[in-house]
Amino acid sequence: MDRDRHQSVSERDARCADAYAPADVALDGSNGELALGAHLITKRHGYEHHGIYAGSGRVIHYAGFAKSVYRGPVEEVPIDQFADGHTVSVRSRQLPKYSGAQAVLRARSRLGENRYRLLTNNCEHFCTWCLLGESRSEQVHACLRHPLAGIRALLCLVSTFIGNRSKTGHAVVNAA
């Protein structure tokens, strides 16, 4: 029975992973230090979580609902906490308006901000603001352009919420 349950979870994960395109370059840890201001992404269950590499193994991101049902602020955390057991990738941008130390300074200027909104001010909005000077989310736009993909992503988020709640006995949501 565990085998059947595992297969259905794997199949569900595969369906949810298709909701968004993968990030551009996977990290394997052997390439040395990441570029300061790199746009980092972790694929989660039905969505991608975004952050800005701040150097010394730390990432600045909008915590959102990553830790609980209460939204979290913009925070700087170790990269393993940001990854939360998932693979970390880098999204390359040809011509960011802000890069390196400039992007990190922009990210740090918002530390402690606690105005997370899933559709209008999420972790991806934060990263594009840090790098491009404009707040936008391709994930949100994809859901609006393709309502079925949006419904699928929403179902994946609800499934994650229910799974985390049953595992820990606490209400925890992993949403970008």
Name residues whose C-beta falls within 8 Å of residue 3's C-beta, 6 or more positions apart in sequence: none
User: CA geometry: angle at 140 spanning 171 and 172, to 5°?
Assistant: 5
CATH number of the domain residue 153 falls in: 3.90.1720.10
- Is residue 163 situated within a structural domain? yes
pLDDT digits (tens, 9 = 90+) for 71-128: 789 999 999 999 999 999 998 877 889 999 999 999 999 999 999 988 889 999 999 9
Residue range of the domain that includes 65? 2-168
Question: Residue 8 domain-assigned?
Answer: yes
Count structural domains, the chain.
Answer: 1
From 15-29, 56-70, 132-146, 157-171, the region with the lowest mean pLDDT: 15-29
Q: What is the pTM of this model?
A: 0.69
Is residue 18 helix, strand or coil? coil
Q: Is residue 64 part of a domain?
A: yes
Using 50, 70 and 90 to split pLDDT, how confident is the model at 7?
very low
Is 173 a member of any domain?
A: no
Q: What Å distances lie between residue 4 and 11, 59, 139, 142, CA to CA?
A: 10, 37, 31, 32
DSSP 151: H
| Residue 175 included in any domain | no
Q: What is the pLDDT of residue 137?
A: 85
Return the pLDDT at 14: 37
Identify the residue with better confidence: 54 or 23.
Answer: 54
- Token pair in block for residue 7: 């297969």
User: Which strand (E) or helix (H) includes residue 165?
Assistant: helix 147-168
Question: How far is the C-alpha of 135 from the C-alpha of 120, rounded, in Å?
Answer: 8
How confident is the model over 122-175, as pLDDT tens digits?
Answer: 999 999 999 999 988 887 767 667 777 667 766 666 665 565 555 445 444 444
Q: Establish if 42 belongs to a structural domain.
A: yes
pLDDT band at 48 (very low <50, low <70, confident <90, very high): confident
| 176 found inside a domain | no
In a domain, residue 66? The reply is yes
Q: Mean pLDDT of all residues in the chain?
A: 74
Rounded Cα distance between 67 and 84, Å, is 10
8 — pLDDT class (breaks 50, 70, 90):
very low
How far is the CA of 174 from the CAs of 32, 47, 63, 70, 160, in angstroms? Answer: 29, 10, 9, 11, 7
